[in-house]
Amino acid sequence: MRYDEVNGNTFYNGDCIAGARKHIPDDSVDLIITDPPYGINGDRLHQHYNRDERFVVGGYIEVPASEYGEFSREWVREAGRILRPGGSIYIVSGYTNLYHILHALRETGLREVNHIIWRYNFGVYTSRKYVSSHYHILYYEKPGGERTFNLESRYGTGEKTPDGRSPNYRDREDVWCINREYKPGQAKNKNELPMELLVKMLQYSSNEGDLVCDMFLGGFSTVRTAIGLNRRATGFEISEPIFDLRISELREIRPGYLLPSMRTPGREGPANRGKPWTDTDREILVSRFARLIESGETKKRAVEILGEELGRGRWAIEKMLKKTARLKCFPQSLDST
């Protein structure tokens, strides 16, 4: 299989199933982000999307609908094999063939973490039904190791917006509203994923130096963004013209070039966040909680007061109270908070 190396990263021009089998060892990849062909005649997508095709790079290889199930089973199996235990995979899918991918995932040992909905602009225009403007993103993990999830990589948990809300919480909701990129007059791949979407997955689910793989490179957007964030990258693209164009563009980018433009998360928050709990801390927590409840405070308010007194976040207080739930004073209903 033809391949090319850019800054120590190897990219293969060929089928990802045969290519992964031959070139990617078991348990070697930290993160897979991929956007397989949709099996809906994606090579003629302009008929569905009615858009200006002049700048769309030709050569996109589609998978016939009749072969989509078997095709999905094979590549998803390979993805599961090459992920390291604890590694994550994000699969972007439309709804038409989603069931094939879900079925393929069930045949592997991969475990669901979240089913994310990505809502985008420029939906498919319709007049006799609702406008379709979402994709599914299946976020799975390979059990057996620690999964990377960088909770504060984008927003500190203690940060607040001017109206008192938590941007960290909002950023982690499982409906993502991210616009597609409008690139007038520039070469683009069919369904090129926006960089904002890729940055988000990469920041939460990988660290600098990690190896990121895209089984279906298309416009190379995943690996371009991964390298921009100083990750290592690899992947496959079966189409020769697409591969040749994108590999030459990749040579122009500098590893880490995106890092200076990334937001620095606010670090302000409870003074003792992340510090291990001592036995004394736990005793104080339990006895103070009991006294606050006795004095007539609601459970919610008691947790808030304890957070202030002990310099911990609300979740940390609730989690520790649940751990010590054997105590009589502990409210069963806290489990439902």
Positions touching ligand SAM (CB under 6 A) are 15-16, 35, 37, 60-61, 63, 189-193, 216, 218-219, 221-222, 236-239, 242
β-bridge partners, 115? 138
Nearest residue (CB) to ligand SAM, 159 versus 237: 237
Question: How far is Cα 71 from Cα 324, in angstroms, rounded to an integer?
Answer: 49
Which residue, 240 or 283, has its beta carbon nearer to ligand SAM? 240
Q: Which long-range contacts (CB under 8 A, 24 or more apart) does 165-171 make?
A: 171/200
Q: How far is the CB of 130 from ligand SAM (least distance, A)?
A: 23
Output 14 or 265, the one with its CB closest to ligand SAM.
Answer: 14
Burial environment of residue 148 by CB neighbours within 10 A (0 to 12, 13 to 18, 19 or more): middle
Question: SS3 helix, strand, coil % of the chain, rounded to 5?
Answer: 35, 20, 45
Q: How far is the CB of 313 from ligand SAM (least distance, A)?
A: 36
Q: Which is nearer to ligand SAM, 236 or 289 (CB)?
A: 236
Q: How far is the CB of 88 from ligand SAM (least distance, A)?
A: 17
We find the least distance from the C-beta atom of residue 265 to ligand SAM, in angstroms, to be 26
Closest to ligand SAM by CB, 195 or 293: 195
From 117, 159, 119, select the one nearest 139 (Cα to Cα).
Answer: 117
Token duo for residue 153: 């990589």
> Beta strand 175-177 with 211-214: parallel, antiparallel or unpaired?
unpaired
Q: Are 88 and 113 in contact (CB under 8 A)?
A: yes
Report the SS3 class of residue 295: coil
In whole angstroms, what is the distance from residue 29 CA to residue 16 CA? Answer: 14
Q: Which of 1, 42, 45, 46 is nearest to 21 (CA)?
A: 1
Residues shown for the chain: 337
CB contact burial 110-123 (16+ within 10 A = b; e otherwise): beebeebebebeee
**Nearer residue to ligand SAM within complex by CB, 157 or 189:** 189
- Which residue lies nearest ligand SAM, judged by its C-beta? 218
- Which is closer to ligand SAM, CB of 73 or CB of 312? 73
The one-character DSSP state at 49 is H
- The residue among 94 and 255 lying less far from ligand SAM, judged by its C-beta, is 94
- Cβ of 216: how many Cβ atoms within 10 Å? 18
The amino acid sitting at 107 is E
Question: In this complex, which beta carbon is closest to ligand SAM, that of residue 81 or of residue 190?
Answer: 190
Give Cα 276 to chain centroid, integer Å.
Answer: 29
**Least distance to ligand SAM, CB of residue 11, Å:** 11
In the complex, the smallest distance separating the C-beta of residue 298 from ligand SAM, rounded to whole angstroms, is 49
